[in-house]
């Protein structure tokens, strides 16, 4: 037996997504043989700046530009072939060997035009503010066992299944809807077949050979279907657990979890956001931080950093290493606020806990921090120590700007590869 087993590390957002995961994945992926997406779909928008060119990835892992690592789209992903091929086209212009480094799980679920249509119709009523990428309905089809999996395309065994799916959503199984979706599959199928493989076997084999895998989380822990502010959540588990069920990574192979958080919070779409602000300062943060959705272009809602929330999701995700991002956006602010507790609106009790299920019954309690002029300053160091003490976790890294080389490693000893 090989005594040198490989392992997996995970990168997870601890807020409502858009914590700047892509840059960190791109940066850290140098240390890994594989990078894998395990949940979500084209609702994600991961921005990477590479050789002064900006790339936005929706489905392909953000590590794909790294020539040393293989990028896997795992079985837990809901896969839109149109978005994938558009993304691939833009990458091929940049690197003609890119195809060889991408694998899609044969157990990933196909997202079809019908899913997007249902997503739009439902959101008119539900008002969740989804990305309209068909994510919720695609996961629903999967759980209802009427979805088309990529292995159905490989086996060319999907026509009957498509009829069933169309019927499931209340449309005529021989009508317009069927034809539209059938043509969609016929159009894209030939181009995606070469990428399809049983990726969980690759993963298991790689681990047995001592290889290293980086798992790229999409969305954020606070959008988790179970632990987020339901129903204002996405339709997958975003709290790292999907690496097991959506990637085929054995539980005991997980080593480090990098939990990312911005120096403020943002949220796109509807739902509770206790520390939200909507004044001039919010506009300044939105503009300075370029806080516009990379998938939908929507302006992101802005609010103060929420430490009870961060602590809750750091614990749930098993975060071992914190990474602070967008720290540069607050440099030269005279002061800024951080939520450090919640007050119960009726009992007036103050708790240092985040209560997602009854968050509407609570009001944030703030602490004001002095601004910092440099990342060397006493003020910045004080802020970092406060967070470390509050969460009882180390801040490993700070991202100080959008470029790849704009970051600081605060504790080099706690992560070696």
User: Least distance (Å) from Mg ion to the CB of residue 40?
Assistant: 10
User: Least distance (Å) from ligand IMP to the CB of residue 100?
Assistant: 27
* Among the listed residues 6, 20, 45, 274, the single contact to ligand IMP using CB under 6 A: 45
136, interface contact from Mg ion, ligand IMP, none, CB < 5-8 Å by kind: ligand IMP
User: Least distance (Å) from Mg ion to the CB of residue 51?
Assistant: 21
* Among the listed residues 8, 268, 316, 398, the single contact to ligand IMP using CB under 6 A: 268
How many separate helices (H) and strands (E) can be counted in the chain? Answer: 12, 20
Cβ atoms of 17 and 228 closer than 8 Å = no
* Among the listed residues 29, 62, 75, 131, the single contact to ligand IMP using CB under 6 A: 131
18 catalytic per annotation:
yes
Question: CA-CA distances (angstroms) from residue 106 to 34, 58, 368?
Answer: 17, 19, 51
- Catalytic position from the list 26, 46, 224, 306: 46
List, in order, residues 6 or more apart from 195 with CB less than 8 Å away: 99, 102, 103, 104
CB-side neighbour CA atoms (13 Å) of 54: 6
Question: CA-CA distances (angstroms) from residue 208 to 5, 6, 7?
Answer: 5, 6, 9
Stretch that binds Mg ion, among 42-50, 112-120, 122-130, 190-198 (CB under 5 A): 42-50
Size of the site for ligand IMP (CB under 6 A): 20
Question: CA-CA distances (angstroms) from residue 155 to 106, 109, 148, 150, 159?
Answer: 10, 15, 11, 9, 11
Which residue number, 229 or 320, has a Cβ lying nearer to ligand IMP? Answer: 229
Q: What is the DSSP letter of 343?
A: E
CA 225 to chain centre: 13
131, interface contact from Mg ion, ligand IMP, none, CB < 5-8 Å by kind: ligand IMP
219 touching ligand IMP, by CB under 6 A: yes
Question: CA-CA distances (angstroms) from residue 131 to 154, 235, 242, 335, 388?
Answer: 29, 12, 21, 34, 34
Question: CA-CA distances (angstroms) from residue 246 to 46, 138, 239, 241, 315?
Answer: 19, 15, 12, 8, 21
- Catalytic position from the list 18, 80, 106, 224: 18
Tokens of 352: 């240092």
Question: 44-103: which residues touch Mg ion (CB under 5 A)?
Answer: 45
Secondary structure class of 236 (helix, strand, coil): coil
141 touching ligand IMP, by CB under 6 A: no
39 touching ligand IMP, by CB under 6 A: no
User: Least distance (Å) from ligand IMP to the CB of residue 193?
Assistant: 27
Active-site positions read 18, 46
For Mg ion, the binding residues (CB under 5 A) are 18, 45, 294
Judged by the rule CB under 6 A, the positions of this chain that interact with ligand IMP are 16-18, 43-45, 128-131, 133, 135-136, 218-219, 223, 234-235, 268-269
């Amino acid at each position: 037996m090989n005594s040198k087993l490989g392992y997996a590390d995970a990168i997870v957002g601890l807020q409502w997504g858009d914590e700047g995961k892509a840059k960190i994945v791109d940066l850290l992926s140098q240390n890994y043989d594989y990078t894998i997406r395990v949940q979500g779909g084209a609702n994600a928008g991961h921005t990477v700046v590479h050789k002064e060119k900006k790339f936005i990835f929706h489905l392909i892992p953000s590590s794909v530009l790294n020539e040393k690592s293989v990028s896997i789209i795992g079985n837990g992903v809901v896969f839109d072939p149109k978005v994938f091929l558009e993304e691939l086209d833009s990458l091929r212009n940049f690197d003609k060997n890119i195809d060889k480094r991408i694998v899609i799980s044969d157990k990933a679920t196909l997202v079809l035009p019908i899913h997007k249509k249902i997503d739009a119709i439902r959101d008119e009523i539900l008002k969740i503010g989804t990305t309209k990428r068909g994510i919720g309905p695609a996961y629903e089809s999967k759980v209802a066992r009427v979805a088309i999996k990529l292995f159905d395309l490989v086996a060319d065994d999907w026509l009957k299944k498509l009829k069933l799916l169309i019927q499931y959503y209340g449309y005529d199984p021989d009508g317009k809807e069927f034809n539209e979706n059938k043509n969609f599959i016929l159009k894209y199928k030939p181009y995606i077949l070469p990428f399809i493989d049983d990726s969980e076997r690759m993963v298991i084999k790689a681990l047995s050979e001592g290889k290293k895998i980086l798992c790229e989380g999409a969305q954020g822990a606070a959008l988790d279907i179970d632990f987020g502010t339901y129903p204002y959540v996405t339709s997958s588990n975003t709290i790292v657990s999907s690496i097991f069920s959506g990637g085929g990574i054995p539980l005991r192979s997980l080593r480090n979890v990098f939990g990312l958080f911005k120096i403020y919070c943002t949220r796109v779409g509807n739902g509770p956001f206790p520390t939200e602000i909507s004044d001039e300062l919010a506009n300044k943060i939105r503009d300075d931080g370029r806080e516009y959705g990379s998938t939908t272009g929507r302006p992101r809602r802005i609010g103060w950093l929420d430490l009870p929330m961060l602590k809750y999701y750091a614990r749930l995700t098993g975060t071992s290493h914190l990474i602070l991002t967008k720290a540069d956006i607050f440099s030269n602010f005279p002061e800024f606020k951080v939520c450090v507790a919640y007050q119960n609106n009726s009992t007036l009790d103050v708790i240092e806990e985040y209560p997602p299920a009854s968050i509407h019954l609570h009001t944030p309690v703030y602490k004001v921090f002095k601004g910092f002029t440099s990342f060397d300053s006493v003020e910045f160091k004080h802020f970092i120590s406060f967070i470390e003490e509050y969460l009882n976790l180390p801040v490993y890294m700070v991202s100080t700007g959008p470029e790849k080389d704009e970051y600081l490693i605060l504790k080099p000893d706690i992560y070696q590869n």
